[in-house]
């Protein structure tokens, strides 16, 4: 289980997996006896980890890091160690829910604005026959609510906890509480519950396939442009690293 095939991007070990391999790994985690942490870093998160050493060490200690987004896939190619495939958080969650060989699996949905997790749960139950929803909780709570939330998750008998608090809040939350959680897998999933609830639409399939989901997001949420500038900055930085390495060989 610990034999990971990873690609180091900015000193962070991104797992080199196809979607199917990532799903198989989740299945192994489900059979284990401890909580496994999974994050879905995109270019923005990797850039944040460059400035935030706590986030970086959280990512480095994860059990699985999937390459979420065209930027991370491109970076792996530039660095000469291409990952097999893009494995975005939303696709990982959807594929795990439809994994026919898994049997019934219980998910707890934590995060999003009030009502979002419940709306996502309703849609999930209609779409995925093998999924049970163990519980829902919105992502706007005080620190003092945390013990109660953990208790609710643990008594729900959930197998997989989806934590959608945005980055780096969700990564920090999972890290801080990992030893208290009884689930087998905790995944930081960003805006996935909004998508599953039908509140946010994903880019059309042809754009996602072409690695242009960022362009769609820029069009839909132009106010995010400042954060999205991290993507070209990330690519430039990776190019610089590659160039530097080449000239030092
Ligand atoms: N969110 C939350 N609690 C918070 C902050 C954010 O539950 O304190 C949720 C927010 O409602 C959204 C999700 O986290 O559903 C992801 O937020 P955003 O798109 O801003 O973050 P990203 O994943 O793009 O960094």
pLDDT for position 8: 96
Take atom 17 of ligand 1 and give the residue whose Cα is closest: 166
Q: Taking a C-beta distance cutoff of 8 angstroms, is the pair 186, 174 a contact?
A: yes
Question: Strands 64-65, 12-15: parallel, antiparallel or unpaired by DSSP?
Answer: unpaired
Residue 71 confidence class, pLDDT cut points 50, 70, 90: very high
Question: Strands 12-15, 6-9: parallel, antiparallel or unpaired by DSSP?
Answer: antiparallel
pLDDT for position 2: 64
What are the residues whose beta carbons fall under 8 Å from the beta carbon of 81, sequence distance 6 or more? 7, 8, 16
- Residue found by looking up tokens 């093998």 in the block: 130
Instruction: List residues near ligand 1 (CB under 6 A).
Output: 111-113, 139-140, 164-167, 169, 190-191, 193-194
- Tell me how crowded residue 237 is: count the other CB atoms within 10 A of its CB: 17
Please give the distance, rounded to the nearest whole angstrom, from the Cα atom of residue 248 to the centre of ligand 1.
41
As to burial, measured by CB atoms within 10 angstroms (0-12 exposed, 13-18 middle, 19+ buried), residue 225 is exposed
- Residue found by looking up tokens 């960003």 in the block: 190
Separation of alpha carbons 138 and 160, rounded Å: 16
**What mean pLDDT do residues 70-98 have?**
97
Residue 249 confidence class, pLDDT cut points 50, 70, 90: low
Would you say residue 246 has pLDDT above 80? no
Interval 121-147: pLDDT, tens: 999 999 999 999 999 999 999 999 999
**What mean pLDDT do residues 36-60 have?**
97
Please give the distance, rounded to the nearest whole angstrom, from the Cα atom of residue 78 to the centre of ligand 1.
30
Please give the distance, rounded to the nearest whole angstrom, from the Cα atom of residue 183 to the centre of ligand 1.
22
Please give the distance, rounded to the nearest whole angstrom, from the Cα atom of residue 204 to the centre of ligand 1.
22
Residue 25 confidence class, pLDDT cut points 50, 70, 90: very high
Question: 43, 24, 32, 22: which is closest to 235 by C-alpha?
Answer: 43
pLDDT for position 245: 78
Would you say residue 90 has pLDDT above 80? yes
Take atom 8 of ligand 1 and give the residue whose Cα is closest: 140
**Measured between alpha carbons, how far is residue 152 from residues 36, 88, 147, 148, 180 in Å?**
19, 28, 9, 6, 12
Question: Strands 36-39, 64-65: parallel, antiparallel or unpaired by DSSP?
Answer: parallel
- Tell me how crowded residue 239 is: count the other CB atoms within 10 A of its CB: 14
Phi-psi region of 10 (alpha: psi -120 to 50; beta: other; left: phi over 0): left
Q: Taking a C-beta distance cutoff of 8 angstroms, is the pair 137, 147 a contact?
A: no
Separation of alpha carbons 206 and 10, rounded Å: 29
Please give the distance, rounded to the nearest whole angstrom, from the Cα atom of residue 112 to the centre of ligand 1.
6
- Residue found by looking up tokens 């030092």 in the block: 248
Take atom 1 of ligand 1 and give the residue whose Cα is closest: 165
pLDDT for position 3: 83
Interval 189-210: pLDDT, tens: 999 999 999 999 999 999 998 8
Q: Taking a C-beta distance cutoff of 8 angstroms, is the pair 146, 227 a contact?
A: no
pLDDT for position 194: 97
Interval 210-221: pLDDT, tens: 889 989 989 899
Would you say residue 17 has pLDDT above 60? yes
pLDDT for position 224: 87
Omega cis (within 30) before 168: yes
Residue 195, both tokens: 């998508």
Report percent pLDDT > 70 for the chain.
Answer: 98
Residue 154 confidence class, pLDDT cut points 50, 70, 90: very high
- Residue found by looking up tokens 């690293």 in the block: 241
Domain parsing of the chain, residue ranges: 6-247
Atom of ligand 1 nearest to the CA of 116: 15
* Helix (H) / strand (E) containing 131: strand 131-137
Q: What separation, in Å, do the N-terminal and C-terminal C-alpha atoms of the chain show? A: 34
Would you say residue 1 has pLDDT above 70? no
């Amino acid at each position: 289980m610990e034999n990971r095939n990873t690609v180091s991007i900015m000193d962070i070990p991104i797992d080199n997996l196809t979607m199917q391999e990532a799903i198989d790994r989740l299945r192994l985690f489900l059979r284990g006896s401890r909580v496994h942490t999974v994050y879905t870093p995109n270019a923005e998160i990797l850039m944040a980890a460059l400035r935030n050493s706590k986030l970086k060490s959280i990512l480095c200690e994860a059990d699985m890091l999937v390459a979420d987004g065209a930027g991370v896939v491109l970076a792996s190619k530039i660095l000469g160690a291409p990952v097999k495939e893009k494995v975005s958080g939303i696709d990982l969650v959807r594929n795990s829910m439809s994994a026919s060989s898994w049997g019934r699996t219980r998910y707890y949905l934590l995060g999003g604005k009030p009502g979002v997790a419940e709306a996502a749960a309703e849609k999930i139950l209609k779409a995925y026959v093998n999924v049970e929803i163990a519980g829902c909780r919105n992502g706007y709570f005080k620190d003092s609510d945390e013990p109660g939330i953990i208790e609710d998750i643990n008594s729900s008998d959930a197998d997989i906890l989806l934590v959608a608090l945005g980055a780096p809040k969700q990564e920090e939350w999972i890290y801080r509480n990992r030893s208290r959680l009884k689930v087998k897998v905790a995944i930081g999933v960003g805006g996935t519950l909004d998508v599953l609830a039908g509140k946010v639409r994903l880019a059309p399939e042809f754009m996602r396939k072409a690695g242009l989901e960022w362009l769609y997001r820029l069009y839909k949420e132009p106010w995010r442009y400042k954060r999205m500038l991290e993507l070209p900055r990330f690519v430039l930085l990776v190019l610089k690293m590659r160039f530097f390495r080449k000239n030092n060989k």
